[in-house]
Amino acid sequence: MPRYLSLVQIDEKTAPAEGPSPELMQRMGELLEEITKAGVMLDTAGLTPSAQGTRVHWEGGKISVTDGPFTESKEVVGGYALMQCKDMAEAIEWTKRFLKVHGEEWTVSCEVREVAEG
Amino acid sequence: MTSQPTADLKTTVETVFRIESPRIIAGVARIVRDVGIAEELAQDALVAALEQWPRDGVPDNPGAWLTATAKHRAIDLVRRRERYARKLAEVGRDLETAGPYLDRPSDPDDIDDDLLRLVFTACHPVLSAEARIALTLRLLGGLTTPEIARAFLAPEATVAQRIVRAKRTLATKNVAFEVPYGPDREARLDSVLEVIYLIFNEGYAATAGDDLLRPALCEDALRLARVLAQLMPREPEVHGLVALLELQESRAVGRTGPSGEPVLLKDQDRRRWNRLLIARGFTALGRATAAASGAPGPYALQAAIAACHARAHTYEETDWPRIATLYALLAARTPSPVVELNRAVAVSMAEGPAPALEIVDRLATEPALRDYHLLPSVRGDLLLRLGRTQEARTEFERAAGLARNERERALLRARAEEAGEGEPS
């Protein structure tokens, strides 16, 4: 049973400034509990805004360090979920449910990637 | 409603069904009090979805749609069929509240209770271990009959028969669809844990050449154990089992070499062990300890032993005295020759080969170990360490004759050769 990493990507410019509403947090909590109860969720977390992040880059044999926010990217990683599922279709179904708990004011996409084993 | 092309839609329907099916079957089984009929009604709901969703679109909450559809059919069936008349009294309460109950989302606690009832019913001791395993994988693990057959190297017809007979047995023996609370609760829970453990071991015993579905049984068992721990958070042995399986699975990648040959624990590359699963194992072991009111149970003890190996960054750092103590506790709780043999290995590492050989020699007449290749293999090892090379060689040869797979035979023959090259004692 492969593991899948769902990288949650949000557009920080259009995301509600006040962050997730209490109702969204409530719905999200219930869904995460459901995914855990299904024996699927291994680990999940949300990240602080990219303004508090730092990008460390390696190119041409040199390190460069850039403080956030990362305004040149339309979407930045805002969280992740590591799930163990029978197949990609199952990971996608849980991901759809995760996206649906957000209200229409949110624009969110999840990149679902299989973890390479071995 | 979500729109998507038809080919994807079939995948969506089937995936949603696979995710929801244990909960649907559990919820319906509470109404019809029969897991076989519950499974058929769940299948009916799947057919209805395959007919209606392409036309009307996928509902916003597809799981709830499937559950409601299956429950409506269940209630129709209960009302329609004569043979449920005598059970109506039992389910009358559900029927009276069925209307509003179906129109509002199910209470998660109700779903959990139903699932737990399904677990205890599928693992009921009136069924043989084989039947319990097949039924559990089918109803709770989401495996199809052909998948179960392939994973267990059994003909599909045999497994199908097994499942049919198991459902019939549950119906004819009037097995109550309930979670046991009473004097037999512990025995019933043991039966559930044993089923999950057996599924895991079947996957663990699979070799590299086997169909991938066989090793995947480890993950199926792990998922079942994780689900059970969520359903029964106060049962220490459930957490103990989760801990044991998480820790065993954390070493899965290190157990075989590049060409599929088995790699002994001492030779494994510990950097390849899965740290996430090790961390989960420790967490589960902590929960087992916190939930226990008395001495740790057999699963928690085995998990504690696995944790000793996980804690050691190198083989040399292994805390053998602690492992020997844990095996002694395990032997006191669940005496068995195999546990005693494992204790001997731990004692040999903690105190040396001589006291371990005494334990092993006491096992020589044990009928349960007569054909168990690990007894002469361990004995050969101890004799070798004591410098009794010729005797060691004889033991390794005997072990090679008893080993079940070719790779182990080859390994033991090589050890016999090596021992023979030593000085005669």
Residue A91 lies in a domain: yes
Residue A42 lies in a domain: yes
Rounded to the nearest angstrom, the minimum Cα separation between A59 and chain B is 29
* Rounded Cα–Cα distance for residues B148 and A42 (Å): 25
Q: Sort out which chain B residues have CB atoms less than 8 A from A87's CB and list them.
A: 15
Q: Sort out which chain A residues have CB atoms less than 8 A from B276's CB and list them.
A: 42-43, 82
The whole-number average pLDDT for the span A22-38 is 94
Of A30, A37, A89, the CB nearest to B227: A37
* Rounded Cα–Cα distance for residues B212 and B315 (Å): 29
Residue B423 reports pLDDT greater than 60? no
The whole-number average pLDDT for the span B145-173 is 95
Q: Sort out which chain A residues have CB atoms less than 8 A from B19's CB and list them.
A: 38, 90, 93-94
Residue B412 lies in a domain: yes
- Beta strands A3-10 and A76-84: pairing type? antiparallel
DSSP-derived 3-state class of residue B261 = coil
Burial A29-38 (b: 16+ CB within 10 A, else e): eebeebbbbb
Residue A28's domain comprises 3-46+76-114
Are B318 and B309 within 8 A, CB to CB? yes
Residue A20 lies in a domain: yes
Residue B16 lies in a domain: no
Check residue B1 and give its pLDDT. Answer: 52
Residue A31 lies in a domain: yes
CATH of the domain at A21: 3.30.70.1060
Q: CB distance A93–B16 less than 8 Å?
A: yes
The whole-number average pLDDT for the span B368-392 is 94
Q: Tell me the helix, strand and coil percentages in chain A, rounded to 5.
A: 25, 35, 35
Q: CB distance A84–B219 less than 8 Å?
A: yes
Q: CB distance A89–B280 less than 8 Å?
A: no
Residue B145's DSSP bridge partners are none
The whole-number average pLDDT for the span B260-285 is 92
Other CB atoms within a 10 A radius of the CB of residue B295 amount to: 10
Q: CB distance A42–B230 less than 8 Å?
A: no
Q: CB distance B223–A1 less than 8 Å?
A: yes
Check residue B261 and give its pLDDT. Answer: 77
Of B233, B222, B23, the residue nearest B108 (C-alpha)? B23
Residue B411 lies in a domain: yes
DSSP-derived 3-state class of residue A65 = strand
Check residue B102 and give its pLDDT. Answer: 46
CATH of the domain at B359: 1.25.40
The pLDDT confidence band at residue A44, using thresholds 50, 70 and 90, is very high
Give the nearest chain A residue to B60 (CA atoms). A100
Check residue B98 and give its pLDDT. Answer: 46
Residue B351 lies in a domain: yes
Of A40, A35, A38, A44, the residue nearest A6 (C-alpha)? A44
Give the nearest chain B residue to A89 (CA atoms). B15
Residue B390 reports pLDDT greater than 80? yes
Residue B392 lies in a domain: yes
Q: Give φ, ψ of A16 to 5 degrees.
A: -55, 130
Residue-wise pLDDT for B162-183, tens only, equals 999 999 999 999 999 999 998 8
- State how many domains chain B has: 1
Q: What percent of chain B has pLDDT over 90?
A: 73
Residue A60 lies in a domain: no
Residues of B within an 8 Å Cβ radius of A: 2, 11-12, 14-16, 18-19, 60, 108, 112, 142, 216, 219-220, 222-227, 230-231, 253, 276, 280
Residue B81 lies in a domain: no
- State how many domains chain A has: 1
The pLDDT confidence band at residue B158, using thresholds 50, 70 and 90, is very high
pTM: 0.88
Of A80, A82, A76, the residue nearest A53 (C-alpha)? A76
Of A1, A37, A90, the CB nearest to B18: A90
The whole-number average pLDDT for the span B104-131 is 87
Check residue B361 and give its pLDDT. Answer: 95
Check residue B101 and give its pLDDT. Answer: 40
Which one has a higher pLDDT value, B281 or A118?
Answer: B281
Length of chain B: 425
Q: How far is CA A36 from CA A31, A81, A83, B326, B376, in A?
A: 9, 11, 9, 31, 45
Per-chain mean pLDDT for chain B: 89
The whole-number average pLDDT for the span B335-346 is 95
* Rounded Cα–Cα distance for residues B137 and B124 (Å): 14
The pLDDT confidence band at residue B211, using thresholds 50, 70 and 90, is confident
Check residue A53 and give its pLDDT. Answer: 95
Rounded to the nearest angstrom, the minimum Cα separation between A45 and chain B is 15
Give the nearest chain A residue to B273 (CA atoms). A118
Give the nearest chain A residue to B15 (CA atoms). A90
Other CB atoms within a 10 A radius of the CB of residue B394 amount to: 18
Residue A11 reports pLDDT greater than 50? yes
Residue B210 reports pLDDT greater than 60? yes
The pLDDT confidence band at residue B10, using thresholds 50, 70 and 90, is confident
**DSSP codes, B387-399:** T-HHHHHHHHHHH
Residue B358 lies in a domain: yes
Residue B413's domain comprises 347-424
Residue-wise pLDDT for B81-111, tens only, equals 755 566 555 665 555 544 434 444 567 778 8
Q: Sort out which chain A residues have CB atoms less than 8 A from B15's CB and list them.
A: 87, 89-90, 92-93
